[in-house]
Amino acid sequence: MNRFDMTRIFALDTEGDEAGRTALLAPSRRGFIKLAAGAGSGLVLGLAPLPRSIGGGEAAAGKEAAAGSLAPNPFLIVAPDNTVTVIIKHLDKGQGAATGLASLVAEELDAEWASIKTEFAPADSARYKNLEFGVQGVGGSNGMSNSFEQYRQAGATARAMLVAAAAKAWSVPPGEITVKAGKLAHASGKAGSFGEFAARASAEAVPGTVKLKDPKDFVLIGKSTPRVDSRAKTMGTALFTIDQMMDGMLVAVIARPPMFGATVKSFDDSLAMKVPGVVKVLAVPQGVAVLAKSTWPALKGRDALKVVWDDSKAEKRGTAEIVAEYKAMLDKPGLEVRKDGDAEAALKSAVKVIAVDFEFPYLAHAPMEPMNAVVRFDGAKVEIWTGSQLQTIDQSVAAAVLGIKPENVTINTLWAGGSFGRRGTPDGHYVAEACAIAKAYGQPVPIKTIWTREDDIKGGYYRPIYLHRIEAGLDAKGAIVAWRHRIVGQSIMSGTPFAAAMKGGIDPTSVEGANTLPYTIPNMRVELATMKIGVPVLWWRSVGSTHTAHSTEHMLDIIARETSRDPLELRLSMLSKHPRHAAALKLATEAAGWGKPMPAGRFLGLAVHESFKSFVAQVAEVEAKPDGGFKVTRVVCAVDCGLAVNPDVVKAQIEGGIGYGLGAALKSVITMKGGVVEQANFDTYDVLRMSEMPRVEVLIVPSDQPPTGVGEPGVPPILPAVANAMLAASGVRTVALPMTRQSYRRA
Amino acid sequence: MPISFTVNGAKRTVDVDPETPLLWVLRDDLKLTGTKFGCGAALCGACNVHLDGEAVRSCQIQLQDAAGRDVTTIEGVTGNVAKAVQDAWIKLDVVQCGYCQTGQVMAAIGLLTQIAKPSDDDIDKAMDGNLCRCNTYHRIRLAIHEAAKTLPG
């Protein structure tokens, strides 16, 4: 997911086409998600609000507040039993949204942490929109940053009302009342709990403005508040979408085309229907669905299906052909993304030019819980249970598929077994297909549509293939005077509602990190060529920075090596305008012992990269053998993410990001032959395992800046940091990923 | 034909296709959803349960092969090793998305039952088949050491 202002991108509209708007999605969704293409005024401002059909009343949230509760806004309920339920507007896919947002409310409310419960908000963008997106959803690591003020305000509002109620009851001035850990008290000895005053507080006027705490008074923010979900997830009681069990529920799986863009020509379900437990076989736009009373018969039924596919419109190229086409494009100028000075002239007059090409493969996200959704459709209204990441999109896509209004779509967001971008789909495709099955079946029973791992690995929505060429021109002293960076790849945003963020045909997700290179280089040009390939692609944890960080940061070490300079010194000499990059680098390198003698066979590599407004530097230590074998033994990481609301969650996200990126560095790759994906499960799509996980030390740069992203920014630097360590060890450049594609044998 | 086996100390009888993987019997028929589906091919460990006390992949055990045997799932796991592991998991906030963690916990209990004070190498060997896409491996390792500290031996 990216960090673009979706308030300027989305216009959700159920009234049909309007002048100046262009339907961008498939015809079946025409009229539901539109992009404003109006000239002059630019993009549509804001979202046509959805009617408030869910929850009832202005204040109560996902559930009706119990009698005697205080629910002054959509974000919390203080109950007579002293519990405080915080309504979490974002999906929690492991990043800690529930813990983080609850801690903001608890802080300003002065609630007792043990009394906090959390509940996911319904799909209702009027109340629960992401303040950066303008629609409900989370991505671009902005869950905390867009909620930081909003959830604190919510807590402070409730606190003020509780204090006002107590002040009246005790006949004392509100200013004399103290609140601590869920208890109200007055110097006179009067004291009471939140629960005792909840009902009376709800009769108080909701204050228009409230004063937020001075950060020096924080008792939870900046502390490592324990996660709210640790116990349930450790004991096995947390419920995910796949765990939904309802009376009369059917389980559906889809036989999917073997190539992207192929469709069903015909099918024979005679054997499938003989599998005990199989209830129905249905054609849907996505393939052939098998519905059964439970999962195993659905899977067996799918195996017994005979489907003839029409591949006349399918993407039949393999990844070798795609890469060859991209390579040819590297020789041609692309669209200009950034221009400082005159890179062309400076390259011509440079004393030395170093040119390096880089190749990045398709990558699957492979969250541990494959895609799934439960749908119950009664012909007029639908209820959906899923780990919805972009609720407003899922809601409007469901409405479009079912031919109903979005306000008749209820979405229950559940804990999700990972996402890494996979659940934030601009086309809402896995909700769409679950709805298509429910519509085709035509009976109001809950249907759980699940993907198998093979469906997931073969199912597209990959990190796109990219090729890069960086040409660096050096002057007589070895200083970098010219930098031309050409990128060739598929666009993630093109053809989706997010395309409104594209200016001049440039998808910002293809170039982010390259066009924002922080180093002082007088002549710089960044170019992009966008290719059309029939393989669905998607943001993959840290998006453009998954490739731009590697090409730029590895290139710097290649240059440092060619010019006999220290990689740290080279970077710091060009970072005078970017102190946060420099500070992160200094902190990480000092902690890692950069510049000190290393034991035999051990080498360090460093990298720094900004993504999602956070600055992350990493030093990777490798143990390298002469035969080319190596192991990443330790990673020291410094992160500047503004104020760290929950330092332990920040560290966890960075640790996880390092592992996620390291898997892509070392081994993960999706390839296609003749349009058919060659990987199917974790035996062929190899991901990081325990024995490959290095020791990780995360240092947080102290900061009083507003909080910024942590879910994604840990990923980008690890690829170049490891490559740089291996460059130091072997002299081999990592020009194609994953690193299994080349030998690091010492010459 | 109904097949009986013991689950978490209680005798259970189910009458479904005897080839049904234990995973789906536990989840769909017995509603024990703590055991997770991750790959269906013994490649990820999310479906780990204990069969006669040993950690196994429930996606690879057919119902008919579990007949008369003793199955323990995350819902029924007890004892000082289980408590030490789960306490350590909670203390260190190991979980992120949490989907794989019940399988991780079952594998860790299996390891600590066999080796009371495992080394990093022991942990690598025992846990390498348990995938975590959130990559909580670093904390899983710390939590296993933490649990080991609280156990005798």
Chain A residue numbers with beta carbons less than 8 Å from the beta carbon of B142 are none
Q: Do A70-231 and A320-362+462-741 show the same overall fold?
A: yes
**A622 DSSP β-pair partners:** A603, A632
Query: For residue B70, which amino acid is it?
Result: D
The total of other beta-carbon atoms located within 10 Å of residue A209's CB is: 8
Architecture of A320-362+462-741 per CATH?
2-Layer Sandwich (3.30)
Residue A639: the pLDDT is 98
The radius of gyration of chain A's CA atoms, rounded to the nearest angstrom, is: 27
Residue of B15, B23, B39 to mutate, interface with A, max A Cβ within 10 Å: B39
CA A670 to CA A68: how far, in whole Å?
Answer: 56
Residue A611: the pLDDT is 98
- Cross-chain residue pair A652–B93, CB shorter than 8 Å: yes
Q: How far is CA A580 from the centre of its chain?
A: 23
**A88 DSSP β-pair partners:** A120
- Cross-chain residue pair A368–B38, CB shorter than 8 Å: yes
The C-alpha of A691 sits at a distance from chain B's nearest C-alpha, in angstroms, of: 5
Q: Which of A325, A309, A327, A393 is nearest to A129 (CA)?
A: A393
CATH number of B3-72: 3.10.20.30
Q: Which of A173, A162, A154 is nearest to A197 (CA)?
A: A162
Q: What topology does CATH give the domain A241-312+371-450?
A: Aldehyde Oxidoreductase; domain 4 (3.30.365)
- Cross-chain residue pair A682–B128, CB shorter than 8 Å: no
Helices (H), B2-100: 22-24, 63-66, 80-91
Tokens, residue A107:
């802080």
CA A283 to CA A502: how far, in whole Å?
Answer: 36
Report the residue from A94, A234, A662 with minimal CB separation from B89: A234
In the stretch 665-704 of chain A, residues with CB closer than 8 A to chain B read 681-683, 687-691, 693-696
Report the residue from A234, A417, A649 with minimal CB separation from B99: A417
- Cross-chain residue pair B89–A276, CB shorter than 8 Å: no
The C-alpha of A466 sits at a distance from chain B's nearest C-alpha, in angstroms, of: 23
The residues, ordered by sequence, that sit 6+ positions from B119 with a Cβ below 8 Å of its Cβ are none
The C-alpha of B153 sits at a distance from chain A's nearest C-alpha, in angstroms, of: 24
Residue A65: the pLDDT is 74
Report the residue from A368, A681, A687 with minimal CB separation from B97: A368
Tokens, residue A83:
């519990």
The residues, ordered by sequence, that sit 6+ positions from A322 with a Cβ below 8 Å of its Cβ are A465, A531, A533, A672
Between helix B137-150 and helix B80-91 the angle, nearest 10°, is 130
Nearest CA in chain A to B31: A245
Q: What are phi and psi of B21, to 5 degrees?
A: -60, 140
Residue A531: the pLDDT is 98
Tokens, residue A51:
């009617």
Q: Would you say B111 and B128 are in contact if contact means Cβ atoms under 8 Å apart?
A: no
Q: In 3-state terms, what secondary structure has residue A571? A: helix
Residue of A244, A250, A456, A690 to mutate, interface with B, max B Cβ within 10 Å: A690
Q: Where are the domains of chain B?
A: 3-72, 80-150
Chain A residue numbers with beta carbons less than 8 Å from the beta carbon of B44 are 368, 453, 682
Residue A734: the pLDDT is 98
Tokens, residue A111:
């609630």
- The reply to whether A741 touches chain B by the CB within 8 Å rule is no
Residue A206: the pLDDT is 96
Residue of B17, B138, B139, B141 to mutate, interface with A, max A Cβ within 10 Å: B138
Q: Which of A242, A225, A289 is nearest to A649 (CA)?
A: A225
CA B137 to CA B143: how far, in whole Å?
Answer: 10
Chosen CATH of B80-150 out of 1.10.357.10, 3.40.1260.10, 1.10.3720.10, 1.10.150.120: 1.10.150.120
Reading phi first (left if > 0) and then psi (alpha if -120 to 50, else beta), residue A560 is in alpha
Tell me the pTM. Answer: 0.94
CA A75 to CA A154: how far, in whole Å?
Answer: 6
C-alpha to C-alpha distances, A67 to A84, A122, A168, A198, nearest whole angstrom: 14, 21, 21, 10
Burial class (CB in 10 A: 0-12, 13-18, 19+), A577: exposed
Q: In the 3-class helix/strand/coil scheme, how is B12-37 assigned residue by residue?
A: EEECCCCCCEHHHHHHHHCCCCCCCC
Residue A63: the pLDDT is 54
Q: In 3-state terms, what secondary structure has residue A392? A: helix
Chain B residue numbers with beta carbons less than 8 Å from the beta carbon of A541 are none
- Please list the rounded mean pLDDT of every run of 10 residues in chain A (747 residues): 40 32 29 29 27 34 74 97 98 98 98 97 97 96 97 98 98 98 98 98 95 97 97 98 98 98 98 98 98 98 98 98 98 98 98 98 98 98 98 98 98 98 98 98 98 98 98 97 98 94 95 98 98 98 98 98 98 98 98 97 98 98 96 98 98 98 98 98 98 98 97 98 98 98 91
ipTM exceeding 0.90? yes
In the stretch 437-466 of chain A, residues with CB closer than 8 A to chain B read 450, 452-453
Nearest CA in chain B to A698: B138
Chain A residue numbers with beta carbons less than 8 Å from the beta carbon of B74 are 235-236
C-alpha to C-alpha distances, B44 to A239, A241, B32, B130, nearest whole angstrom: 20, 19, 19, 5
Buried (b) or exposed (e) across A585-605, using 16+ Cβ within 10 A?
bbbbbebbebeeeeeeeebbb
C-alpha to C-alpha distances, A169 to A163, A166, A185, A191, A273, nearest whole angstrom: 10, 5, 12, 11, 69
- Cross-chain residue pair A652–B132, CB shorter than 8 Å: no
Query: For residue A330, which amino acid is it?
Result: L
CA B131 to CA A19: how far, in whole Å?
Answer: 51
Q: Where are the domains of chain A?
A: 1-48, 70-231, 241-312+371-450, 320-362+462-741
Q: How far is CA A35 from the centre of its chain?
A: 22
Tokens, residue A605:
């590599």
Residue range B141-152, pLDDT digits in tens: 999 999 999 998
Nearest CA in chain A to B78: A235
- Cross-chain residue pair A369–B36, CB shorter than 8 Å: yes
Tokens, residue B59:
């996606």
Number of residues in chain B? 153
- Cross-chain residue pair A242–B37, CB shorter than 8 Å: yes
How many A-B residue pairs are in contact by the CB < 8 A criterion? 187
Query: For residue A293, which amino acid is it?
Result: K
Determine which helix (DSSP H) or strand (DSSP E) holds A278, and give its type and residue range.
strand A278-284
Report the residue from A229, A237, A655 with minimal CB separation from B138: A655
- The reply to whether A245 touches chain B by the CB within 8 Å rule is yes
CA A261 to CA A236: how far, in whole Å?
Answer: 39
CATH number of A70-231: 3.30.365.10
Q: Which of B68, B64, B71, B81 is nearest to B34 (CA)?
A: B71
A325-333, long-range: CB < 8 A, 24+ apart: A325/A531, A326/A465, A326/A466, A326/A467, A326/A488, A326/A489, A326/A531, A327/A357, A327/A467, A329/A467, A329/A488, A329/A529, A329/A531, A330/A357, A330/A467, A330/A469, A330/A486, A330/A488, A332/A529, A333/A486, A333/A527
Nearest CA in chain A to B124: A691
